[in-house]
Amino acid sequence: MNINFDLNDLQAFRAVVEKGSFRKAAEAIRISQPALSRRIEKLETALGVKLFERTTRKVSLTMAGRAFMPNVERLLDDLEVALLGITGVASNRLANVTIACVPSTAYYFMPQVVTEYHRLYPRTKVHVLDASASEVQDAVASGEADLGLSFTGALDPAIAFELLLQERYVMACRRDHPLAEAAQVSWDEMYRQDYITLGKSSGNRFLLDQALVKVRPEKAGICETRHVTTMIGLVEAGLGVAAVPSIAMPMAGHPLLVSVPLVEPEVLRNVGLIKRRGHSLTSAALELERLVREMKRLPG
């Protein structure tokens, strides 16, 4: 295959994706807009596909463009790291790294991880994609994300899972709730309260439905959400209680919220890193992976 494009064309493509505009992209890489358009046309001609859909108001990637983007990111990032590493300034490298997370793991892991990563590599941008478990898996499998943080479930054969921690489900409630000081609460007892539940598209809902086949709630939940973090916000607002993974709860000492262990049965969730099998991570992604492992703490 003859490669009839160069790095300048790939950099132009990435600039348009990042800026969302040919004009802003041209300004960012300091060339004229016609010159930028020629680079994109050259790339599209070489690949034999259309990469962008352009209207008077916006520029968006085509399906082919979306599939091509992760490969361009990886190629340019690896090249930048390699060139900078030769000169001995790898700590100042320009790069991007993307991690996809279910919201509870984003809340639990990422504040400390991103803070430390930025301290070590201030010129590397970390993209955090917070999404459902199925969307996290899809992002890793497609290459949109370098790695992911999720929990075990129906994993794609192309995805490798590495356990980081095991957590239990707890009841989230306000400190002024009658059950707030209980040592533990059964699922039956929780379901007798006003409770908030998750929608059927949630990976957590699927896990709980599998684990609680013998538990029959006496009444329906008063509200349904897509994400655990939303449930916790509603609990804090006083709408009721909710069953949530322990890592989704705020640290001890929260002025309004407490967690109470749920039993009969005790339901556990395995949380870990997911990666694409047979795929080598960039240097930037390897560093992020290292920090995720180092930053884990035992759930309280």
Domains defined for the chain, CATH in brackets: 167-268 (3.40.190.10)
- pLDDT at site 251: 78
What tens digit of pLDDT does each residue of 122-136 get?
A: 878 899 999 888 899
pLDDT of 147 > 90? The answer is yes
Distance CA 171, CA 175 (A): 12
Give the residue with greater pLDDT, 109 vs 267.
267
Tokens of 300: 């309280």
pLDDT of 154 > 80? The answer is no
Backbone angles phi, psi at 262, to 5 degrees: -100, 135
Question: Which positions ≥6 away from 300 have C-beta within 8 Å?
Answer: 246, 249, 251, 252, 259
What tens digit of pLDDT does each residue of 26-53 get?
A: 888 888 889 999 999 999 998 989 999 8
Q: Assign 203 a pLDDT band (cuts: 50, 70, 90).
A: confident
Q: Assign 7 a pLDDT band (cuts: 50, 70, 90).
A: confident
Tokens of 280: 């080598």
- pLDDT at site 265: 95
By residue count, the chain amounts to 300
- pLDDT at site 134: 87
Distance CA 36, CA 12 (A): 6
Q: Assign 58 a pLDDT band (cuts: 50, 70, 90).
A: confident
Tokens of 194: 């006003």
What tens digit of pLDDT does each residue of 220-230 get?
A: 999 999 888 89
Distance CA 294, CA 117 (A): 12
Sign (positive/negative) of CA torsion 229, 206, 174, 184? negative
Tokens of 193: 């309260």
- Alpha helices of the chain — where are they, by DSSP H? 7-19, 22-28, 33-47, 63-86, 103-120, 133-142, 187-190, 203-211, 228-236, 283-295
- pLDDT at site 243: 97
- Which of 40-54, 84-98, 229-243, 246-260 is predicted least confidently? 84-98
pLDDT of 298 > 60? The answer is no
pLDDT of 181 > 80? The answer is yes
Please give the distance of CA 249 from its chain centroid, rounded to a whole number.
18
Pairing of strands 241-245, 195-198: parallel
Distance CA 238, CA 236 (A): 5
- pLDDT at site 300: 38
Distance CA 169, CA 4 (A): 55
Give the residue with greater pLDDT, 275 vs 88.
275
Tokens of 214: 């013998």
Give the residue with greater pLDDT, 89 vs 12.
12
pLDDT of 1 > 70? The answer is no
pLDDT of 20 > 90? The answer is no
- Rounded mean pLDDT of 55-70? 86
pLDDT of 86 > 70? The answer is no
Q: Residues 42, 9: contact at Cβ < 8 Å?
A: yes
Q: Assign 231 a pLDDT band (cuts: 50, 70, 90).
A: very high
- Rounded mean pLDDT of 205-216? 91
Average pLDDT of the chain? 87
Tokens of 244: 């949530």
Tokens of 1: 């295959």
